[in-house]
Amino acid sequence: MIAMLRGILFDKQPSSVILDVGGVGYEVFIPLSTYDRLPATGSECRLLISHVVREDDEQLFGFATAEEKQLFNLLTTIRGIGPKLALCVLSGLTVTEFKRCVAEGDIKRLSTVQGIGRKTAERMIMELRDKIDPVEALSFQTPANAPAGHETVIRDTLLALGQLGYAQDAARKMLQAAVKDGADTSNSEALLKRVLSGR
């Protein structure tokens, strides 16, 4: 199986590229997020590859980042979502936006992606909610002086809020507000008190 290709970018289109690797031209399908990161035609280019093999066909799907490839592979595990539809998702939403939509149950936002209707959006949320890291889905910037273990503290605080009865969406918004306001993220107990106090 092909996992990565490096070669000369022979041609590029918003939905696919031709990569010249040792004189062999590989057609690779890509999302818009990867297209936006491509170098000029004739330049060296590296793409992470998801090699999809079917009974009567083989296709290569390329990505600029490991996060895009991982999400693509995750999406294609969902019933009714093939590689082309998974590319549509990556073309319509960033990885962070998609994870946030799943974590928050944002059916409306997911349904804005071409080819994704309400039922498919609901299926995505139902099947992927437990596979999306709640911390990654918080979508706030890590403070520049954040101590080691910052993400563990955030995760513990999020779990504690859930145990106190707060809905997942509400807990995330409270955490986002506290961190944005400069809350100390080195201690989960202190962070929890700060979140609950709203100050």
pLDDT-based confidence at 103, cuts 50/70/90? confident
Per-residue pLDDT, averaged over 14-27, amounts to: 97
Per-residue pLDDT, averaged over 2-25, amounts to: 97
The SS3 call for residue 128 is helix
Top pLDDT among 141 and 70 is at 70
Per-residue pLDDT, averaged over 59-77, amounts to: 95
Q: What's the chain's average pLDDT?
A: 86
Asked whether the predicted pLDDT for residue 61 surpasses 60, the reply is: yes
Per-residue pLDDT, averaged over 110-124, amounts to: 93
Q: Which CATH superfamily is domain 4-63 in?
A: Nucleic acid-binding proteins (2.40.50.140)
Q: Is there a contact between 109 and 122 (Cβ–Cβ < 8 Å)?
A: no
pLDDT given at position 163: 81
- pTM metric for this prediction: 0.70
Count of CB atoms within 10 A of residue 27's CB?
Answer: 13
The SS3 call for residue 10 is strand
pLDDT-based confidence at 92, cuts 50/70/90? very high
Domain ranges of the chain: 4-63, 66-131, 140-197
pLDDT given at position 141: 46
Percent pLDDT > 70 in the chain is 89
Q: Which span out of 84-93, 143-152, 164-173, 189-198 was modeled with the highest average pLDDT?
A: 84-93
pLDDT (tens digit per residue) in 121-165:
999 999 998 787 655 655 544 544 455 567 778 778 888 887 888
Query: What does the DSSP assignment read for 89-118?
Result: HHHHS-HHHHHHHHHHT-HHHHTTSTT--H
Fold of 66-131: DNA polymerase; domain 1 (1.10.150)
Q: Is there a contact between 150 and 185 (Cβ–Cβ < 8 Å)?
A: yes
Phi, psi of 58 (to 5 degrees): -135, 135
pLDDT given at position 180: 76
